[in-house]
Amino acid sequence: MVEERGVVEEVINELNLTLPSSLKIRLELIKWETHAYAHIGDDAQSVINKQIGDEYDIFIGLMGTRFGTQTPRAGSGTEEEFNRAHERYLSDPSQLRILFYFKNSPVLPSDLDPDQFKRAVEFRNRLRSEGLFWTYETAKEFRTFVSRHLQQHLRGFGVTWGVSTASRPLAEGSEDRASDVKNSAGVSVLSTKKVFARINANAPEYQKSFLVRYPVVEGITSDEVLQKINSVLSYERVFDVSIKEEIEETWGLSSLDFEVNYLKNPFLDTTLMIEGIGAYPWQHSITIVVNVETGEQVKAADLFEESSMELLASRVNELVQLDKKKANLLLSYENNEADSSGWFDDRFGPTGFVVNDLNHFSIEDYGITFLFDFGFPHVIKAFEPEGRYFFSFHSLRPFIKRSGVLDGFLKTLNYE
């Protein structure tokens, strides 16, 4: 895995150059080649364990067709290092994050050690029950995955993991989503909750009422702007649902709710959610970014140069196609089929990410996450990719519209 280890080092160096200074994060790669030194001990792995220690925040594991050399405490050095990290995680999930990757590229039979391969497969099956690992075929694919995953985890560092949230105040734009939020410009989003009783006396007990939690935006001086914001964030408009009809009839609605993801002028990023019960429980969410200075919903055309949007969409689509490929592999594995090409095809949803999909995004202090709905049917919904693709502002700089709303916003964040 020499090439992949080199990729990790390159990705870390790139992230150190592109991460915004406001994060106050710098990554250091710890590996035995650079952090261990000659010493006699019980065995080589125990020496490495003592010299490297457990003072790290992210564990990255790599494995191909070889499992490794057995140690006195585990089947291989890789397994022992994973076990130590996993024990730390189980004792306190806020301590670290574990990322594990398996290489799936073809191997010549003459290069394959059957015993090593068998043990590697057994370890992979073990991790399947522990959580989510990732597979890749080429070093290029691995670079894409590890860069994206590291950025996604770093977005929560110091808020959901890495340090105690009690000892570190949350940065503006990263408030507790369960609470009402307010930004430094005096704009706040409060909530009011109402429970509506249905008129239909024959409705089953779980459908006799439904809950609606409304966002209440305050601190907007213009009535016209406030009216526009309320219209953009209207459940009735977004989900094409009628509260009046839900009271009079039984359509299965359980709740309408929202989360404020980000609030820093001029952006208010909110996710609206709808849940219900029919043949099976269902839910749907839509994330909307509003310009609190104009009251209008922010679209891709407000952020990016029109001439560059097709190229940007193609960059996101590359990641979408990788996720679609992975979903096919997982479905074929679950159903013990060698051919994965027929499991997920374009009958279930859109063929890929196109320019119009750039309008679906979420924004934060250091980048934009584009959102994509794969449209998996309920029967295989558990295999549907998350559909979230983060791009740092540094990587988006060539696409950003000059003198546009995002360009001005980045200047307030001191982005070059």
Which amino acid is located at 36 in the chain?
A: A
pLDDT at 36: 64
d(CA 370, CA 314): 12
d(CA 2, CA 62): 10
How far is CA 70 from each of CA 49, 81, 82, 100, 124, rounded to the nearest angstrom? 15, 12, 14, 19, 17
What confidence category does residue 285 fall into, taking pLDDT thresholds of 50, 70 and 90?
very high
d(CA 227, CA 84): 55
Sorted by sequence, the CB contacts under 8 Å of residue 388 that are 6+ apart come out as: 152, 362, 369, 370, 371, 372
d(CA 122, CA 412): 51
Mean pLDDT in residue range 121-146: 87
d(CA 177, CA 181): 8
* pLDDT, tens digit, 9 for 90 and up, residues 32-86: 777 666 777 678 888 887 878 888 999 999 999 999 999 999 999 999 999 999 9
Mean pLDDT in residue range 323-346: 66
Mean pLDDT of the chain: 84
Given a cut of 80, whether residue 341 has pLDDT beyond it is no
For every residue of 168-230, DSSP letters joined together read SPPPTT---TTS-EE-TTS-EEEEEEEEEEPS-TTS-GGGSEEEEEEEEEE----HHHHHHHH
* pLDDT, tens digit, 9 for 90 and up, residues 216-241: 999 999 999 999 999 999 999 999 99
CA–CA–CA angle 161, 362, 158 (5° rounding) = 15
d(CA 293, CA 286): 21
Given a cut of 80, whether residue 130 has pLDDT beyond it is no
Would you state the structure tokens that stand for residue 232, as one six-digit string?
Answer: 């953009």
**Between 201 and 412, whose confidence is greater?**
412
Given a cut of 50, whether residue 176 has pLDDT beyond it is no
